[in-house]
Amino acid sequence: MSARLDDEGDPALSAAVDAHLASCAGCRQWQDSAARVTRLARMSVASATPDVSGAVLARAPRPRRHAVRQVLRAVLALLAVGQVVLGLTHIEGIPGLTGHAPGASGAPAHFTHEFAAFTIAVGIGFAWIAWRTSRAPGLVPTLATFVVLLTALEAVDLARGVVDPSRLVSHTLVQAGLVVVLLLSSRRLGGDGFAPRLRRAPAERATADGLDDRDESGEDGLRPSARHDAA
């Protein structure tokens, strides 16, 4: 009977419902009352009410993973600062700076400038992701490839004894940054994951930046009505 009032009744059950209403005074009374309430709700003029959604959302408890994402963003911001500072210390001509790649005293200026440019670029990438976490997956392919190759070559050079261990310390920033970017990208922590997805609406993009939260599947809690199963 409720479905009928919303024009969602099942035609296959129409005869059975009519037969029951013919013999049940209680259900007829309920149907008449429900129809009257429905008419009043549809015909009444909506009165202005204060918008309290902002206050309600502000007081709503945040899930634990939101706090974890905020900590990861702060850590990534610190790594970004470290990367930029490390790059600046190896640019020739800046007063008080060495202008040499770590562990490579006397290296040509061009080599140190290449090192500095890449280091600063990675730092800027970290800062951008710390601000806009929805961009995290875009940095993963390049950053992961660089870190994996770098780590493998470091291991080979260490085994051959042709690298100064002090130089390897400077690489821990980018390695730690990769770990943080991967965590921010994971759907378990509210990220977009690594598989291609359809372009999302602005509200969904805000979710990925920590302004809202989703279920573990990465979808909003409510599905579009076109995807609802018929009751």
In three state form, how does the secondary structure of 25-56 look? Answer: HHHHHHHHHHHHHHHHHHHCCCCCCCCCHHHH
Does the pLDDT at position 25 exceed 90?
yes
Count of structural domains, the chain: 2
Does the pLDDT at position 179 exceed 50?
yes
Same domain flag for 86 and 131: yes
What pLDDT sits at residue 19? Answer: 92
Q: Write the DSSP symbol of residue 171.
A: T
Same domain flag for 26 and 68: no
In a domain, 223, yes or no: no
pLDDT bracket for residue 27 (50, 70, 90): very high
Cβ pair 203, 212 in contact under 8 A: yes
Q: What are phi and psi of 212, to 5 degrees?
A: -150, -170
Residue ranges making up the domain that contains 159: 63-211
In a domain, 216, yes or no: no
**12/169: higher pLDDT:** 12
Sign of the C-alpha dihedral computed for residues 29, 30, 35 and 40 taken in this order: positive
What pLDDT sits at residue 94? Answer: 54
Q: CB burial class (10 A; 0-12, 13-18, 19+) of residue 123?
A: buried
User: pLDDT per residue over 64-87, tens digit each?
Assistant: 788 888 899 999 999 999 988 888
Tokens (6 digits) for 222: 């409510």
Instruction: Give the max Cα distance, the chain.
Output: 101
Does the pLDDT at position 46 exceed 90?
no
Cβ pair 148, 183 in contact under 8 A: no
Same domain flag for 14 and 88: no
Same domain flag for 143 and 113: yes
Count helices and strands in the chain by DSSP H and E runs: 10, 0
Does the pLDDT at position 59 exceed 80?
yes
Tell me the three state secondary structure of residue 191: coil
Instruction: Determine the average pLDDT of the residues in 1-9.
Output: 85
